Structure 1
């Protein structure tokens, strides 16, 4: 696992329950973002930096599409 990898996973909206089950099993303290797909109606995109969680989602949802981005984590100190 490289530091800064961001996993963007596109999947049908009706499969989001699989994502929530995997999230509660793997790492519920980690964050993931869900937003509607801009290109395909009826699909959602989730973003996470947790590699095992992303792998579990991809395994459970065979029609999922994944894109791995190399984006560093931004830390803001106030």
Structure 2
């Protein structure tokens, strides 16, 4: 069963305090390639590697079922600075 953007969004929102979340299916709808932008206070004080490991751990089941997954993880302050 393919992973949907809604599946990824629910798993992320159920685990992290998210202030902004963008899930993009980059595989033209087949659910094989996703990119996510996650903005969360939970990333404060963590390195990019630690943030990505955190997301990989919480999405372990979903990531194992798709071909490609990319992520960008920001704190609210970093996100506001990029606007």
Structure having greater relative contact order (Cα 8 Å, sep ≥ 6): 1
TM-score, length-normalised on structure 1?
0.44
Q: Which has the higher helix share?
A: 2
